């Protein structure tokens, strides 16, 4: 909103602006405020009209406006963190959305569902980036137990969330109704359709549960902030590049995250953050394998280790899989292994997505790293920044073995402990207790005195 105020302040200082022959400077304060707010709303409406309307109509109503103001004015730090997380997760979501043939705008659902936090858990038990209930996740093929919660896996959780959305879309053939059913269940949506006799979200909105009435507006506001954040001076928060430039492999063995930290030289919290689904700190080794996500720069070392040490080979130097990853320190300044590069639009490039595809960079990462929006108009010499790995970590076999355990000392034979016999106390003076005084019968005079 600060950008709006500066823009309209410039208009205010322009003496040529007039309405009905009256200069803007001659208006009353109330007229000036109304004009600025109406013009700001018109600008936001124009921007919403530029966005992808495949899944819903982007209208500006009080709920959407209030949410946008919260993102810009009240939650600027949280909004910056959201932008940083979008550079980490949106490339994963877009890859699956493209493969499934679903609208790319569905990635913004996760901003409303979990604020892009893989550990997010609701009061009713929904978990992960897509906030799936345990029963629903199991029906969709995910494993949810005390050692593995695949809802927290960005890839598997996304795949299950998109499957559930596809099921709802096949019922209603409308993405806004499918999203409403994703939030409150198809039963509530069917009830709202019968009561309102409407055919889309906006016509049945007032008949939906209170939370769902603001669900679609909140998604629209989140999408607006992700696309036009730079127009409101929102700066992406800091996030180390090891969490943003990642890739995943399938591991068909039982493997401790402590061993992963040893081989890759990563800090334990980085390994755990990228693999939140392993609740006990290890890959259980279930049939079909497990996904292990790591920074791209350390993946050569991990692949070499897995190829040189078969799954049948015992890990004799520690006790997998119960060793904690916190036993390893790891790299403290991983950003030094990356280099920053810049590019300009090629001839014929008119969108940021075209620039990203030409440089083989996810568009969301290019937008965040350059603090630009996906729908920005491009100039011939506009400069965009991105990062690449400059130095990959090779496998170091010395990192596999930990120092030997201390030698065990033979324990001495245990001697039974006997409680010594206790003797009664002797030669102690007897305790004299005072005799209880005998109560005396009150006389008639005493009774009379007690009345006064």
- Which positions are catalytic? 113
H/E/C letters for each residue in 323-340? CCHHHCCCCCCHHHHEEE
Rounded distance between C-alpha atoms, residue 254 and residue 261, angstroms: 15
| Helices and strands (H and E) in the chain: how many | 18, 8
The CA distance from 192 to 203, in Å, is 9
Rounded to an integer, what is the distance from CA 47 to the centroid of its chain?
26
Torsion, Cα of 317, 320, 323, 327 (10° steps): 40
Query: What is the distance in angstroms between the CA of the first residue and the CA of the last residue of the chain?
Result: 81
**Please, how many CA atoms are within 13 Å of residue 71, restricted to the half-sphere of its CB?**
33
Q: Write out the E strands in 120-236.
A: none
Question: Do the Cβ atoms of 179 and 159 come closer than 8 Å?
Answer: no
Residue 395 makes CB contacts below 8 A (sequence gap 6+) with 263, 300, 301, 302, 304, 305, 308
Cβ contact 272:257 at 8 Å:
yes
Per the DSSP assignment, residues forming a β-bridge with 339 are: 388
């Amino acid at each position: 909103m600060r950008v709006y105020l500066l823009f309209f302040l410039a208009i205010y200082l322009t003496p040529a602006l007039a309405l009905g022959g009256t200069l803007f400077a001659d208006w009353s304060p109330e007229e000036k405020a109304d004009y600025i707010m109406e013009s700001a709303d018109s600008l936001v409406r124009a921007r919403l009209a530029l966005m992808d309307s495949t899944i819903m109509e982007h209208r500006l109503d009080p709920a959407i406006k209030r949410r946008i103001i919260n993102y810009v004015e009240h939650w600027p730090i949280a909004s910056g963190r959201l932008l940083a997380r979008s550079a980490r997760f949106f490339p994963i979501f877009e890859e699956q959305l493209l493969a499934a043939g679903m609208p790319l705008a569905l990635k913004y659902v996760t901003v409303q569902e979990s604020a892009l936090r893989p550990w997010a858990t609701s009061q009713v038990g929904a978990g992960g980036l897509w906030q799936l209930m345990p029963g629903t996740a199991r029906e969709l093929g995910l494993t949810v137990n005390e050692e593995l919660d695949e809802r927290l896996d960005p890839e598997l959780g996304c795949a299950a969330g998109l499957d559930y959305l596809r099921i709802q879309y096949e019922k209603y053939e409308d993405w806004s109704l499918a999203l409403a059913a994703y939030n409150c269940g198809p039963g509530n949506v069917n009830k709202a359709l019968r009561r309102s006799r409407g055919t889309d979200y906006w016509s049945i909105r007032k008949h939906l549960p209170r939370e769902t009435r603001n669900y679609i507006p909140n998604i629209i506001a989140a999408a607006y902030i992700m696309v036009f954040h730079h127009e409101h001076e929102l700066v992406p928060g800091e996030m180390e590049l090891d969490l943003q430039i990642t890739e995943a492999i399938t591991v068909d063995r039982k493997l401790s995250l402590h061993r992963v930290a040893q081989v890759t030289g990563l800090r334990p919290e980085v390994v755990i953050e990228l693999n939140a689904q392993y609740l006990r700190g290890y890959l259980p080794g279930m049939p079909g394998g497990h996904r292990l996500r790591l920074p791209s720069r350390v993946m050569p070392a991990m692949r070499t280790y897995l190829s040189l040490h078969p799954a049948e080979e015992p890990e004799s130097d520690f006790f997998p899989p119960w060793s904690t990853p916190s036993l390893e320190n790891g790299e403290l300044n991983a950003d030094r292994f990356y280099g920053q590069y810049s590019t300009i639009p090629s001839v014929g490039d008119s969108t940021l997505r075209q620039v990203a595809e030409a440089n083989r960079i996810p568009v969301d990462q290019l937008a965040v790293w350059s603090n630009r929006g996906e729908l920005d108009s491009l100039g011939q010499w506009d400069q965009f920044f991105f990062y690449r790995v400059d130095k990959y970590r090779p496998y170091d076999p010395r990192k596999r073995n930990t120092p030997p355990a201390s030698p065990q000392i033979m324990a001495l034979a245990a001697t039974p402990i006997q409680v010594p016999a206790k003797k009664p106390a002797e030669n102690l003076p007897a305790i004299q207790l005072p005799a209880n005084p005998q109560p005396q019968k009150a006389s008639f005079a005493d009774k009379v005195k007690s009345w006064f």
